Amino acid sequence: MAEVLVQGSHGEEVRRLQRNLNAALAKTAVIVDGRNVLPLETKTGIFGSKTKAAVEKFQTDYKLKKVDGKVGDETRRALATRVLIIKGIVTRDASPTLTLRPTPPPNLFPKLILPQVPPLQLTPPSLGSKPNRPGWLFQLQPATGITPAPFVSSSNGGGGSITTGQVAMGLVYRTKSEGPHWEFGGVFQPSVSTQNSPTDPRYTLQLQGNVAYADPYSKGRFHTALFGQVSLLGNFAPTGLGLAAQLGGQISVDIIEDKWNLFSQAGVQLSGQWTLFDHKGLGAGQLNFGPVFTILGTTIQWDIK
């Protein structure tokens, strides 16, 4: 059993004790006669009243069984195993790693062999941010839109604006999930429209190929996109076929980020439609160029793992 250090002891072991008490109690205060005695003076190596007060403070803070100001086996073990100064460097990169390299506790007593403490490495998946990676999405887009009278039409007949309700369903591949990026999609879209003339289709099924440059500008929940699409149309009531190409822009606001948003679109469309059986029983065709608007739509999307 090692010698018990008490008030009045002196020597190198007392100096080691005082240095480690300074480290263990660095963030606390030990008050003697109204003054903080920390840090302890370590040159003389004398175990005085200030050192005793510091030992009692250490024993109290670490909830040792004896709080008597004496350094016996229990206090030695506590000093050897619980006084740990951690030094480390935190670096941030694409795969951040936090490395803590503990300094082994100082050996107060040479005869006591202390265990080596290995470095602790923590590698979080990210610093609070989601991965910015490509991937596939499934999108569902109910919307209502309006097609005003075209700027130019090969048809001599009149006609006003057509209001449309539609539901688009499709797969989209995006090159990134954050920042400016490209998106490519294939969409199936049934729609129902008002009729301002006998040649206007009541129902339409569309197969669309889309390309979009998403988020050229975004701020908070607000996003923008530029898009182009080519569509193959199957019309009913009257029955017909059509082809259309459209260029436009979109603004949207997130309700649930990357899951649900509201959007509006504006664009111009060049379309050719051929009625196989019209109200007179004779096929007819027309070519139109004009504006197209989506007044309000919503996108609900799911990641495909």
At 85 the pLDDT is 43
pTM recorded for the entire structure:
0.56
At 52 the pLDDT is 94
Residue 24 within a domain: yes
Query: Same structural domain for residues 248 and 103?
Result: no
Q: Which domain holds residue 267?
A: 135-304
Domain boundary among 81, 104, 125: 125
At 15 the pLDDT is 92
Domain boundary among 73, 101, 125: 125
Averaged over successive runs of 10 residues, the pLDDT of the chain (305 residues) comes to: 86 91 87 89 91 92 90 88 48 44 57 56 49 84 91 70 92 87 94 80 92 88 92 88 93 89 94 71 74 94 85
Report the CATH number that the domain containing residue 47 is assigned in CATH: 1.10.101.10
Query: Same structural domain for residues 146 and 91?
Result: no
Contacts for 238-241 with beta carbons within 8 Å, 24 or more apart? 238/198, 238/199, 238/201, 238/275, 238/276, 238/277, 238/278, 238/279, 239/275, 239/276, 239/277, 240/201, 240/273, 240/274, 240/275, 240/276, 240/277, 241/273, 241/274, 241/276
At 278 the pLDDT is 55
Query: Same structural domain for residues 154 and 293?
Result: yes
